[in-house]
């Protein structure tokens, strides 16, 4: 049996922070692309996935503060009420950190399956927050990004397991 | 190993406690923004900081659009050109007649001492993007308060009414489309002159509060009535697609579709605010 020794495999701290910054920036830029039509509907929340990936990988350092800040950024980007995504990102980070040990035990496809209800709950929190504060929602298709998001998680988690991402100290 | 003097169990608040703290913060932010609109400065600041980034990211896509536009086939261009020339001829005839009618109309209005109808003028702007917001139908334009745009101005395209400016930043503007569920447009049926209210319904629109016996048919065109002092009179809004008159209800159920390319046009025109009554 192959043993995934996660705790022994780490970036150097500086390198890791640079990596975190880079992935979050990439996620932000991906979101800025003028998406249209069904692509816009299926677009996963890149920033949320990047944030949750790091929150799961290292439970210290990446936490609610960063989730809150990125959430405000997402709120402004989407032109919705301020605090909506801040709240849902915080809930996402909580769920991922609460289940971080459990998630680490699974193979990647199973991890993606586990992420689906988690992302769904995160989206629903955003939906309810928006609904309470402003207007009636326009349809359940907004939850489609939870499905594409968990697929993206698979890809991101795979990238995180590649040898290049596991430079030992 | 713990170094001497270091407490063995650090008292850091638990995960749930931290979630509760940040949630309360987020919820108070939501309340501040939605109930008291007290955070405009924060939003404006973030938008101003990230606007250049948005432009840079969009640049390759705009360039791609230009290249594919350049590579349109010659045959298609010729066809389009012929069509446009035909249209132009017809339009010129109409225009000549319209000029004459307008002169006559002004003459009559002077005779009747009525207020002159204001002509439409405005700022052309391009759609930057559509934020994915499940709660509303909105687009973002590439001009803001730098071009003199203010909240409340009507937005049109070549075919008719598109929406209304709801939020103005320094270099960009948010427009709520007429198909948004929160939007209502005072209109009138062009054929009969009956005044109606058209509400957004997500993708389409509907006329509400219209008594069951009202004369309205499929294919009727609705134009703005101008009585709200927001939209100028005579802008084309929607075409009626279906009328049903449920016998157990007081009101007819009328659905219609916007005539303007609400989700298709790229170039829009932000019209000037209408004057208040009494102003010229």
The tally of domains found in chain B comes to 1
Q: Is residue A26 part of a domain?
A: no
Range of the domain at B263: 125-275
Q: Is residue B24 part of a domain?
A: no
Inter-chain contact B50–A76, Cβ cutoff 8 Å?
yes
Interface test with A, best of B16, B21, B26, B137 (most A CBs within 10 A): B26
DSSP A9: -
Q: Is residue B66 part of a domain?
A: no
Q: Is residue B135 part of a domain?
A: yes
Inter-chain contact B128–A87, Cβ cutoff 8 Å?
no
Q: Is residue A16 part of a domain?
A: no
Question: What are A3-12's pLDDT values in tens digits?
Answer: 454 444 456 7
Q: Is residue B35 part of a domain?
A: no
Predicted local distance difference test score (pLDDT) of residue A8? 42
The tally of domains found in chain A comes to 1
Q: Is residue A8 part of a domain?
A: no
Chain B residues whose CB is inside 8 A of the A94 CB are: 15-16, 18-19
Judged by a CB distance cut-off of 8 A, whether residue B167 touches chain A is yes
Tokens of A48: 């949320």
Q: Is residue A27 part of a domain?
A: no
Question: What are B80-107's pLDDT values in tens digits?
Answer: 889 999 989 999 998 888 988 888 888 7
Residue of A nearest to B18 (CA): A64
Model-wide pTM > 0.80: no
Judged by a CB distance cut-off of 8 A, whether residue A78 touches chain B is yes
Range of the domain at A43: 36-162
Contact residues, A window 20-39, toward B, CB-based 8 Å cutoff:
28-29, 32-36
Pair type for strands B205-208 and B253-258: antiparallel
Q: Is residue A43 part of a domain?
A: yes
Predicted local distance difference test score (pLDDT) of residue A89? 94
- The CATH number for B196's domain is 2.40.10.340
Judged by a CB distance cut-off of 8 A, whether residue A56 touches chain B is no
Judged by a CB distance cut-off of 8 A, whether residue B50 touches chain A is yes
Inter-chain contact A82–B174, Cβ cutoff 8 Å?
no
Q: Is residue B198 part of a domain?
A: yes
Q: Is residue B180 part of a domain?
A: yes
Query: What is the distance in angstroms between the Cα of B61 and the nearest Cα belonging to chain A?
Result: 8
Chain B residues whose CB is inside 8 A of the A77 CB are: 50, 131
Q: What is the mean pLDDT of each run of 10 residues along chain B (280 residues)?
A: 58 83 90 81 84 81 76 80 90 89 80 59 81 72 87 86 88 88 89 90 86 89 87 88 90 90 78 63
Judged by a CB distance cut-off of 8 A, whether residue B49 touches chain A is no
Q: Is residue A4 part of a domain?
A: no
Predicted local distance difference test score (pLDDT) of residue B240? 93
This model of the complex carries an ipTM of 0.78
Q: Is residue B219 part of a domain?
A: yes
Question: What are A16-26's pLDDT values in tens digits?
Answer: 888 888 999 88
């Amino acid at each position: 049996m192959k043993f995934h020794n996660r705790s022994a495999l780490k970036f150097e701290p500086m390198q890791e922070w640079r990596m975190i910054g880079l992935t979050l920036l990439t996620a932000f830029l991906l979101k800025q692309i003028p998406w249209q039509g069904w692509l816009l509907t299926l677009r996963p929340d890149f920033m949320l996935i990047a944030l949750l990936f790091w929150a799961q990988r290292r439970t210290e350092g990446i936490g609610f503060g960063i989730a809150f800040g990125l959430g405000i950024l997402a709120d402004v980007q989407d032109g919705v009420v301020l605090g909506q995504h801040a709240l849902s990102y915080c809930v996402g980070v909580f769920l991922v950190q609460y289940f971080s040990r459990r998630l680490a035990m699974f193979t990647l496809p199973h991890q993606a399956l586990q992420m689906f209800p988690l992302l769904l709950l995160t989206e629903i929190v955003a939906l309810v927050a928006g609904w309470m504060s402003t207007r009636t929602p326009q349809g359940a298709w907004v939850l489609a990004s939870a499905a594409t998001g968990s697929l993206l998680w698979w890809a991101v988690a795979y990238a995180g397991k590649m040898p290049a991402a596991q430079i030992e100290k | 190993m713990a170094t001497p003097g270091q407490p063995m169990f650090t008292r850091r608040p638990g995960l749930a406690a931290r979630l509760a703290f940040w949630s309360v913060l987020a919820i108070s932010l939501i309340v501040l923004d939605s109930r008291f609109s007290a955070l405009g400065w924060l939003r404006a600041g973030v938008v101003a900081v990230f606007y250049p980034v948005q432009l840079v990211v969009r640049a390759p896509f705009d360039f791609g659009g230009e290249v594919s536009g350049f590579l349109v086939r010659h045959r298609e261009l010729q066809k389009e050109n012929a069509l446009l020339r035909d249209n132009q001829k017809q339009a010129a005839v109409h225009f000549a007649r319209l000029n004459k009618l307008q002169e006559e109309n002004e003459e009559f209005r002077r005779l009747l001492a009525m207020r002159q109808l204001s002509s439409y003028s405005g700022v052309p702007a391009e759609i930057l993007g559509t934020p994915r917001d499940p709660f509303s139908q909105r687009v973002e334009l590439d001009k803001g308060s730098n071009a003199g745009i203010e909240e409340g101005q009507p937005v049109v395209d070549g075919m008719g009414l598109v929406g209304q400016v709801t939020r103005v930043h320094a270099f960009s503007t948010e427009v709520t489309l007429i198909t948004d569920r929160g939007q209502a447009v005072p209109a009138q049926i062009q054929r009969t002159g009956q005044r109606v209210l058209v509400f957004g319904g997500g993708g389409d629109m509907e006329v509400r509060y219209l008594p069951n016996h009202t004369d309205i048919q499929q294919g009727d065109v609705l134009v703005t009535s101008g009585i709200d002092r927001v939209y100028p009179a005579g802008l084309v809004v929607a075409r009626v697609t279906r009328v049903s008159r449920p016998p157990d209800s007081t009101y007819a159920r009328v659905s219609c579709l916007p005539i303007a390319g609400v989700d298709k046009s790229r170039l829009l025109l932000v019209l000037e605010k209408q004057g208040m009554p009494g102003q010229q």
